[in-house]
């Protein structure tokens, strides 16, 4: 069984973090209600594990396994974004994952609300948020891509297509690939 979001944080949480996770978990049913008409991807952890190394699907498997997460039906792209952007699952990383698509033009209630909440709760990350937003703005439009059909593609190539060669090289150095 996958852990819930709050239990993934292994350090002592601040009041802001605890409140943030509480809000996320409280609003999650509303978010999934909004996505109720979307078709879940036809994937399993086992099918992702069997994909060739260095593909988006296999890297998604490794990410889910490392963070003890389950596939989120109808929101699978969210963890794909973690893989592509290189952000973690701490509160800062979760916020950054929202700012990149917002900068890319994804203007939906969940993105706008979560980025506003993050900016309000975490002013110490404003520069990181600004950089993530700008990264999305400078990227090739990706927020409406069908990532399910791209799971067999190399992660590094998708990063290059979206962000350019420099961003892929930066992530490669950061992740020691």
- Taking residue 137's Cβ as centre, other Cβ atoms within 10 Å add up to 13
From the list 48, 101, 91, the residue with the least C-alpha distance to 71 is: 48
Global pTM reads 0.81
Share of the chain above pLDDT 90, in %: 63
Length of the chain, in residues: 177
Local confidence band at 102 (pLDDT 50, 70, 90 cut-offs): very high
Query: 154 pairs with which residues across the strands?
Result: 55
**CB 17 within 8 Å of CB 91:** yes
Q: Give 131-177 pLDDT, tens digit per residue.
A: 999 999 999 999 999 999 999 999 999 999 999 987 666 666 665 55
Q: In Å, what is the CA distance from 134 to each residue of 3, 14, 129? A: 32, 28, 8
**Which candidate, 151, 173, 149, 148, places its Cα nearest to that of 55?**
151
In 3D space, the residue among 66, 69, 131, 118 whose CA is nearest the CA of residue 92 turns out to be 118
pLDDT at 6: 44
Separation CA 82–CA 89 (nearest Å):
8
Contacts (Cβ under 8 Å, ≥6 apart) of 76? 40, 41, 43, 147, 148
CA distance linking residue 18 with residue 78, whole number of Å: 21
Extents of the domains making up the chain = 42-175
Give the chain's mean pLDDT: 86
Helix (H) or strand (E) holding 172: helix 165-175
Distance CA 64, CA 71 (A): 8
Q: Is 48 helix (H, G, I), strand (E, B) or coil?
A: helix
Point out which residues pair with 55 in neighbouring strands.
154
The pair of three-digit structure tokens given for residue 142, joined into one six-digit string: 């990706």
């Amino acid at each position: 069984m996958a852990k819930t979001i709050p239990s993934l944080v292994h350090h002592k949480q601040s009041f802001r973090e605890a409140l943030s996770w509480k809000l996320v978990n409280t609003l999650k049913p509303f978010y999934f209600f909004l996505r109720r008409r979307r078709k879940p991807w036809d994937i399993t952890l086992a099918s992702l594990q069997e994909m060739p190394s260095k593909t988006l699907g296999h890297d998604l498997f490794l990410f889910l396994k490392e963070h003890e997460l389950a596939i989120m039906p109808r929101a699978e792209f969210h963890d794909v974004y973690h893989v592509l952007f290189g952000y973690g699952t701490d509160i800062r990383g979760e916020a950054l994952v929202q700012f990149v698509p917002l900068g890319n033009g994804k203007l939906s209630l969940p993105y706008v609300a979560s980025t506003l909440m993050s900016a309000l709760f975490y002013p110490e990350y404003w520069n990181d948020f600004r950089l993530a937003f700008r990264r999305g703005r400078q990227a090739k439009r990706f927020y409406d891509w069908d990532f399910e059909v791209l799971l067999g593609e190399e992660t590094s190539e998708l990063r290059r297509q979206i962000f350019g060669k420099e961003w892929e090289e930066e992530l490669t150095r950061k992740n020691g690939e």
